[in-house]
Structure 1
Amino acid sequence: MGTASSFAIAMLDPRLLRSFTAIVDAASFTLAAERLHMTQSTISQQLARLETLVGSPLIERTARPVRPTASGERLLGYARRLLALQAEAEAALGDPAGSASIRIGLPEDIVDAAMAKTFGDFARRHREIRLDVTAGLSRDLTRRYRGGDFDIVIVKDARPGPDCRASFPEPVAWYESAEAPATWPDPLPLVAFPPDGLYRETMFQRAERERLGWYVAFAGSNLHNVLVAVEAGLGLSLLPVSAAGRYRVRQYAPFGMEAPISVSLYSWEKTGPVSELVGAMQGVMAARSQPLGRN
């Protein structure tokens, strides 16, 4: 069979292929018709249509039992694969799993084991819903939430917005490497997030209140990178207390704690599966801290 025939095979009606494979498997037109619940004349007509499309006889009709021709043998494997793919596609389209989505934005340190378990429990109860989770910096997450990119978002800021569903205080403190020297040089090296990143302005303001020279020695795009840099001794940084315990860092005693920031949860929808997930996420956040308030 040439290129034109190969193209025709790709466009073949699965009903014709099913009749052809049934005839081969049964080695009989009569038995094949019975298995497919059709008349012998109908299955013969479908085979004839298929033979016209491929341009070759596919069944040795005079043989007893009937058997495929050389062209039929070549087509048989393709026919079985096409029918199997059709069955897989029908099964996939018939299963609603993952057909809807809930878009979630979170700071990366909020995506911990407890939050992951909450997502897993929700997904098992709602197979039809896919959770699309994005981790990022709070100010970018807030901007994208207001722009409609997320259904649910948790962000950190100086104070919660009036439309937040719940807000919790997160203690923050200054950290240095566990192996840092007794004194730091002047100007003071700082490890920070990029411009508009969390804690950045607070760090600069504190250094200036202390009348210390400072410079950014390292800027990391995520919390892990910042903590690794502090751990390596590149400088001081202001960080959430809950995240620092997993790294070889210690609180920088001369600066100590800063005022806690707000970790606030927002969502557009107030009912349905989104509201159910918001409630579960709120429970995780409550286990981390005492709430400042709730709308």
Structure 2
Amino acid sequence: MESSEKSNRLFNTDLLRSFVAVIDARSFTAASRHLNSTQSTTSQKIMRLEEAAGVRLVDRGRDGITPTEAGARLLGYARRILALNDEAAAVMSGAARAITLRLGLPEDFASGRVTRALADFIRQHPNTKLEVTSGLSRDLNRAYLQGELDLVLVKQHRGEARGAMHWPEPLAWFQGAGHALDECDPLPLVAFPSNGLYRTQMTAALDSAGRRWRLVYTSSSLAGLLSAIDAGLGISLLPRRVVGLGLDEIPSLPNVDAMEIAIHQADPNTPFVSEIVQILADAVGK
């Protein structure tokens, strides 16, 4: 009987939801705001979960709250349990027939494995409507802040806004294979439109290094930028993640601090949101 009660306490969804929130926010304070709770209540729930599990689940360090080895193992199960719980609640209440999720994605994520995973989600939840908007991160973030999107994956400056989850986005300089454009004076640049991501960092880094530059090509499309770089029109500062074969990295140009990828969600209790967040997290982590 004692073993059965311990198992039930371990998989208590309220405790698991607090655990996931603390790990994602890396802070008891931020997680408590996210949960509309108090820091002491959230801390007590983590302690109850640790007591039920019989192991320590979180570490408190200078970089915030991180999962222990046991906590990392539990985290994946917790997300799956919460997703299934939310789905069951939605189906039983009839909410699944009326749910519309509005998702915003940058262009480089709105294809490939993310699209396939979202298609699988729709097949599994045919009564849930998923509206996906693709665009520049600044436009997606503006729409999210105006309440036009429920969930967004965006690129942002590190620490700009605390998201539900976030990852570093290392940047590097690239040019087309066989094009020694880094030797040009001024440097020909390929960039997103004014105020677009990476453009300010790119020109500021060159100005600080005393390198002259000129803008030769502008596009709001990542595919357009990659095509221009490959053709030898100019060089650009881009995430290493999005650059495939055919482009050469330029190590001689100044280093630029990494950006970050963040997931922002309006209401974590909306049915199926946790499943979409996991799909996005899997895509970023690969």
TM, length-normalised to structure 1:
0.60
Q: Give, in whole Å, the separation in 1 of the partners of 2:167 and 2:220.
A: 24
Q: Give, in whole Å, the separation in 2 of the partners of 1:277 and 1:183.
A: 41
Counterpart in the other structure of 2:237: 238
Structure 2 residues without counterparts, runs of 5 or longer: 1-94
Counterpart in the other structure of 2:199: 200
Q: Give, in whole Å, the separation in 2 of the partners of 1:120 and 1:158.
A: 30
Shift of 1:143: 0.8
Q: Give, in whole Å, the separation in 1 of the partners of 2:158 and 2:251.
A: 26
Paired-residue identity, %: 35
State the secondary structure of the residue aligned to 2:179. Answer: coil
- The count of corresponding residues between Structure 1 and Structure 2 is 191
Q: Give, in whole Å, the separation in 2 of the partners of 1:116 and 1:182.
A: 35
Query: Match of 2:220, as an amino acid?
Result: S
Which protein has the larger Cα radius of gyration, Structure 1 or Structure 2? 1
Q: Give, in whole Å, the separation in 2 of the partners of 1:195 and 1:118.
A: 33
Contact 1:193/1:220 (CA < 8 Å) preserved in 2? Answer: yes
Q: Give, in whole Å, the separation in 2 of the partners of 1:283 and 1:218.
A: 33
Q: Give, in whole Å, the separation in 2 of the partners of 1:203 and 1:125.
A: 43
Alignment of 1:1-295 (within 5 A): 100-181=99-180, 184-246=183-245, 248-255=246-253, 257-271=255-269, 272-285=271-284, 287-288=285-286
Shift of 1:176: 0.6
Query: Match of 2:174, as an amino acid?
Result: Y
Shift of 1:194: 0.1
Structure 1 residues without counterparts, runs of 5 or longer: 1-95, 289-295
CA distances 1:178-222 after superposition (whole Å, capped 9, x unpaired):
020375322111000001111000010111112111111000111
RMSD of aligned alpha carbons: 2.1
State the secondary structure of the residue aligned to 1:258. Answer: coil
Query: Match of 2:256, as an amino acid?
Result: E
Q: Give, in whole Å, the separation in 1 of the partners of 2:167 and 2:175.
A: 26
State the secondary structure of the residue aligned to 2:200. Answer: helix
Q: Give, in whole Å, the separation in 2 of the partners of 1:267 and 1:273.
A: 12
- Rate the CA distance shift 1:216–1:263 in 2: closer, same or farther, 3 A: same
State the secondary structure of the residue aligned to 1:173. Answer: strand
Mean CA deviation greater in 271-280 or 234-243:
271-280
